[in-house]
Structure formats: structure tokens, C-alpha cells
Amino acid sequence: MTDPEVSLLLHCAAWRGLRQSHVRVELSERYNRQTDAALQRHIEEVWTARVSKEPWLFDGAKFRLHSFHVALPTAQLSSCTPSFQNLDCRHSTASAPLLTLRLGLTSYKDYLGTNWSSRAVELHKRGEAEFGSSQALLAQPLGVGAVVCTGDGQVVFIRRSQEVAEAGGKLDLPGGHPEPKRLGEAKVDLNLLEKNSEAVVAELFSSICAEIRDEVNIPLSSLGEPLLMGMILNHTSAGRPSAEFYISCSLSSDKIRELYWKGGAEANESTDIVFLSRAETLRLDGSSPLWQEMCPSAKGAVLLFQTVKPKQL
């Protein structure tokens, strides 16, 4: 199944999901966004106009996905940048590969002024013409999302608030961003992060658990180990990337519903919780009315879930 709003950038169906120990990161200024004075002025203009309407918005550092590399056990090497086709790993059934994410730094302000800008199509064309990559001038902040499967075989969806910046009122899965600021430095410094790459990987995997806790109010102790299913591109925001996980939960859907309505730290970001059985989620497609209610990132995560069929830990 295809959907114009989303595409799969990477899936790991052969391994049915990657553990944290199979992922590493490479951080460098080389992986930051390209820019020039005119683009910086545009970003400032977009930010000023947006904050004047929504004064509660704040800027913050994010990790920028530049590209990735998969080292297969057979000594075959595959690499990919976000502008290329999806890397299909199904040709090998050996043990899991080592996935390397090449990351730079970006910010929420840069995201609004590039990926979410009215000039995004122009920036795509410029990036391709000037740097050989349609994403070169875009912020490309790496998001995270998760298919959370309950103890009684249900998948957790939430209804996004109309007050959130994107996809208001749509059905979504818990998600957010890994945060550079969580790594303990008073100021986010890429040079320091380069020396602490294992902590960045840990933040990538732990951030999705923190988002589930804050958005759904599920205790961390009830969540299993995150399995990385792959990455998707959201084409409603100029191909913004997101890493999508599968996480089992020991609690029943009734208990999770009870916890959700008590409210978590980010309860204001959603207005309802919806459960769909694992089997129904695996059958979801574009003909389903529910599919039309889903935001692009949720569609992408479901497509990965259907492709990877993650193993239970």
C-alpha cells in the first residue's frame, strides 16, 4: 500500500526490529543544514510571525538526520540519504545489522522556516541543484513515534488536540523528539555530543518511552524494550524523518484508559484515546475510514508495523 503523505525510508523486516545495541550514531557539523543569508532572513521572518500568533512557542535544539548506513553481516554495505529510495534489508536473514545514523543539529525554528515553510518546494529544488540533495537546506529534525501494544493485544492511538501545531484533530501514535538538551550539557554543543555518541543512542531509544509516559500516562516500568522498526518520511512537511518503534506494554487497555484520563505531563496535546486490536492494525489500509483520520506519522508507523511485524520480547 502507498500513501502520498508518507513513505518508508528504512525498514528492518528481516530482523523484525533492531535493539539499541544494534544502533549507533555519528555526529558532525558536516551533517548540519546548508544555509545562506537570504534563507536565514526568511527563517527569522517566519519565526517572528508565528510567535506573534502563538506566543507559547519556544525554540529548541533537535537532532538532524542527514543520512544513514547499514553494515550487513555478509560484509555487504548499504548506505542511504533521505533523498534516496527505501533501503530494503530483506535480502539477508542473518543477525541484525549495525545501523549508523549520521546526525547534525537543527532547531524547531529552523524546521518552521524550512520544512514547514511555504518555500519548502523551492528549497527542495535549490538543495538538489546546489548541493546534490533535496534535503540539504531543510532542517530535517528526527522525530520518534511508537506502536504500543497492550497486554491484551490492543494498539494505542491518541486523538491530537486542535491546539497542536500540526495535524490537529487527527489520530496519532505517541511520539515526539529525542532532545539534545537531555544529555546534561548547559549548552548544546555538537563537539561534546560527538564524544558522547552512546548517550545520544540511549536518548533516541529512551525518548520514545518518555513520550509515551508523558502523553498517555503509562509508567516506564510497564513498557518493554523499544525495537526500532525503521524510519519514515512525512511528505506533508517536506519529507521530515521519524524513527518508529514497537513497544510492548504489560498493562491492559482498560488500565491504560484509566491512566490516560488521569492525565500525564503532556495531557493537553491530545483529547481522546482509541484502541485498535493488533490484528486490525495489521489489516489497516487506505480503504479504511480510520486510515483517513490518521496523521502521516501514524500512517508511516502502521505501514512499518505491517512490514516488519516486530517480534515480541
- The helix or strand, by DSSP H or E, that contains position 189, with its residue range, turns out to be none
Strands 154-160 and 270-277: antiparallel
pLDDT of residue 275: 97
Helices (H), 145-189: none
Strands 154-160 and 171-172: antiparallel
pLDDT of residue 137: 98
pLDDT of residue 266: 83
pLDDT of residue 8: 97
Per-residue pLDDT of the chain (313 residues; tens, 9 = 90+): 789 999 999 999 988 899 999 999 999 999 999 999 999 999 999 999 999 998 888 899 999 999 999 987 554 444 455 443 344 444 444 455 689 999 999 999 999 999 999 999 999 999 999 999 999 999 999 999 999 999 999 999 999 887 766 767 899 999 999 999 988 665 788 888 888 899 999 999 999 999 999 999 999 999 999 999 999 999 999 999 999 999 999 999 999 999 999 988 888 888 999 999 999 999 999 999 999 999 999 999 999 999 999 976 4
pLDDT of residue 78: 43
Question: What does the CA dihedral 94, 103, 79, 176 come to, rounded to 10 degrees?
Answer: 60
What lies within 8 Å, CB to CB, of 189 at 6+ separation is none
pTM of the model: 0.91
What lies within 8 Å, CB to CB, of 15 at 6+ separation is 22, 89, 95, 96, 97
* Domain 6-71+96-308, CATH among 3.40.1160.10, 3.90.79.10, 3.10.105.10, 3.40.50.2020: 3.90.79.10
pLDDT of residue 90: 43
> Cα–Cα–Cα angle for 9, 298, 243, nearest 5°?
40
